[in-house]
């Protein structure tokens, strides 16, 4: 059943709008996802929004009908509102015609099953939500199990990260942990920790990768702390033919992940 | 010799501030680069800014002294101003202490020397300045000759693209052309055009790459037009193990570029 919201000062509008800010997302434990494509990806992965907000000016689409039916069947709320109010919620001039509200996914390290995949991505202090989303998307492409966020990373449930992930926020497991939590967890089972590094490293092509392989990428400006690099089982270098001595973090992770994929399954 | 600017309404401040917008950059043929690191990269590649704007609250640094001397020696202008006015120019709350003004670089296709490198990156209708800058950075890393921008791409001289390039905007050649200009130019000499594609494609690992290899990446949401794909000499696929059927454009370009680098030089 649809509920209509016509007022800008409606408390639901204010609540949804507040979720653009990290502190309110964290307090509520909820996040927003925009657009029929991402929402359909989510549904096909078993994630149905708790609330669906549709613009009265949306284009009709059979997938939107299916989505609405799924939300209704799951006891979720369905709201119809004006394009202007949807703009207020998303903060965008031309919002996609539909937005979903989700409960944040479980990001505990303990809930990860490392045997579920031969490849895992690990990011340390990754600050850019676009890079974070791109790593999720790459993880999906290489069949990784998920992305483990070490130390103070960008929020994987921000609108920017969700958008850059192209739906992979729903297909990849996401865990958050400090280094001091991550390392003992890693060492409590099978797992090779690999970093792109200039320190005592071997060429990334043909390096002895082993599953499950955890590919560690460092902060965008500072790279990995030396201590973290030294804790790795394998340090690999990529050719750097130009002036720069590093790649974009998401790019470095992707080049390495495709190499590992080939080594383990090629 | 330093000139001091103390007023927000100073015409030079207004002029520099206007360069944050593409239309004013285009009209002036100038662009801004922020931060000592990028400006030093530029200088070391032979690009000295026409004007250097320094915050009175900047940290002293020998590289900044060298930069100032280089600008002075080249007859450029050196301006000292308040952090607040520098913020107004850059549009950032905490601007880096120094900004340089450069004349836009030559982006004509005719001026490219394709024999200068075995790898060239080509982007079609790339809309995200961060992706564009990241491709420049990757190009630098793989020793590419440059980045050719086809059709309506983001501006390589925007602050975001320059920043994401990490200085590669000064080391990589950049050309802009329509597809109808690019293809005849490509066919007028040696050059293999390669695209990541699902159409009649071979696996990207071990594909028969040939130098000079032009790696073509398509628009972020639509990918390459079918006609462009068909014009390629080689179409390659990358493994897609997940739900998605594509990678971030800059990531796809990088994974392919490292594969080509290995094939041609490995």
Give the gap in angstroms from C-alpha B3 to the nearest C-alpha of chain A: 33
Instruction: Measure the CA–CA gap between B37 and B96, rounded to whole angstroms.
Output: 10
Average pLDDT over residues A99-123: 95
For residues B154-175, one letter each, b for 16 or more C-beta atoms within 10 angstroms of the residue's C-beta and e for the rest, the string is bbbbbbebbbbbbbbbbbbbbb
Helices first, then strands: H and E counts in chain B: 11, 12
Is the pLDDT assigned to residue A95 strictly greater than 80? no
> pTM of the full predicted structure?
0.93
Q: Is the peptide bond before A212 cis (omega within 30 degrees of 0)?
A: yes
Give the gap in angstroms from C-alpha B166 to the nearest C-alpha of chain A: 8
| CA dist B258 → A49, A238, B12, B253 (Å) | 39, 9, 43, 9
pLDDT tens figures, A235-262:
999 999 998 888 999 999 999 999 999 9
- pLDDT grade for B14, boundaries at 50, 70 and 90: very high
CB atoms within 10 A of CB B192: 17
Average pLDDT over residues A212-220: 96
CB B80 within 8 A of CB B60: no
Which of A130, A168, A251 has the CB atom closest to B138's CB atom?
A: A251
What domains does chain A contain, in order, with CATH numbers?
Answer: 2-103 (3.30.1330.30), 109-265 (3.40.1280.10)
pLDDT tens figures, A150-188:
999 999 999 899 999 999 999 999 999 999 999 999 999
The answer to whether the CB atoms of A138 and B250 lie below 8 A apart is no
CB B164 within 8 A of CB B132: yes
**All residues at 6 or more sequence positions from A254 whose CB lies less than 8 Å from its CB, including other chains:** A134, A135, A138, B247, B248, B251, B254, B255
For residues B11-42, one letter each, b for 16 or more C-beta atoms within 10 angstroms of the residue's C-beta and e for the rest, the string is ebbeebbebeeeeebeeeebbbbbbbebbbbb
Interface test with B, best of A41, A248, A254, A265 (most B CBs within 10 A): A248
Residue A143 has what DSSP assignment?
T
pLDDT tens figures, A30-84:
999 999 999 999 999 999 999 999 999 888 999 999 999 999 999 999 999 999 9
pLDDT reported for residue A158: 94
Residue B206 falls in which region: left (phi positive, over 0), alpha (psi -120 to 50) or beta: left
| CA dist B158 → A43, A150, A208, B107 (Å) | 38, 32, 41, 14
pLDDT reported for residue B132: 98
Instruction: Measure the CA–CA gap between B106 and B100, rounded to whole angstroms.
Output: 18
The mean pLDDT value of chain A amounts to 94
CB B130 within 8 A of CB B122: no
- ipTM for this model: 0.92
pLDDT reported for residue A207: 97
pLDDT reported for residue A245: 83
3-state secondary structure of B77: strand
The answer to whether the CB atoms of B41 and A243 lie below 8 A apart is yes
pLDDT reported for residue B182: 98
Beta strand ranges found along chain B (DSSP E): 2-5, 30-34, 51-55, 77-81, 98-103, 119-124, 146-150, 173-177, 192-196, 202-203, 213-217, 234-237
CA atoms within 13 A on the CB side of A254: 33
Average pLDDT over residues B121-135: 97
Give the gap in angstroms from C-alpha B5 to the nearest C-alpha of chain A: 32
Interface test with A, best of B144, B168, B254 (most A CBs within 10 A): B254
Is the pLDDT assigned to residue B200 strictly greater than 90? no
Angle between helices A83-90 and A11-18 (to 10 degrees): 40
Instruction: Measure the CA–CA gap between B222 and A49, rounded to whole angstroms.
Output: 27
Average pLDDT over residues B64-80: 96
The answer to whether the CB atoms of A251 and B134 lie below 8 A apart is yes
**All residues at 6 or more sequence positions from B204 whose CB lies less than 8 Å from its CB, including other chains:** B196, B236, B237, B238, B255, B256, B259
Q: What is the residue-wise DSSP string for A95-130?
A: --SEEEEEEPPP--GGG--GGG-SEEEEEES---HH
């Amino acid at each position: 059943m649809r509920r209509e919201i016509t007022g800008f000062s409606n408390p639901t509008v204010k609540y949804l709008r507040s979720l653009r800010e990290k502190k309110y997302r964290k307090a509520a434990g909820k996040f927003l996802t925009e657009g029929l494509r991402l929402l359909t990806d989510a549904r096909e992965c078993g994630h149905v929004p708790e609330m669906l907000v549709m613009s009265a000016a949306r284009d009709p689409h059979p997938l939107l009908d299916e989505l609405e039916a799924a939300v209704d069947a799951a006891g979720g709320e369905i709201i119809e509102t004006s394009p202007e109010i949807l703009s207020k919620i998303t903060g965008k001039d031309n919002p996609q015609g539909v937005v979903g509200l989700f409960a944040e996914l479980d990001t505990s390290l303990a809930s990860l099953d490392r045997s579920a995949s031969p490849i895992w991505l690990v990011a340390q202090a990754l600050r850019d939500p676009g890079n974070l989303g791109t790593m999720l998307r790459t993880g999906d492409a290489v069949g990784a199990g998920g992305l483990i966020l070490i130390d103070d990373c960008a929020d994987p449930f921000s609108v920017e990260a969700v958008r850059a992930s192209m739906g992979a926020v729903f297909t990849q497991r996401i865990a958050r942990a400090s280094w001091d939590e991550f390392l003992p967890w890693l060492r409590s089972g099978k797992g090779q920790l690999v970093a792109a590094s200039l320190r005592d490293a071997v060429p990334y092509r043909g390096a002895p990768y082993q599953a499950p392989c955890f590919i560690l990428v460092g902060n965008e400006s500072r790279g990995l702390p030396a201590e973290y690099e030294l804790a790795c089982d394998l340090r690999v270098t990529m050719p750097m033919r130009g002036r720069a001595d590093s790649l974009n973090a998401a790019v470095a992770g992707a080049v390495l992940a495709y190499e590992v994929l080939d080594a383990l399954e090629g």
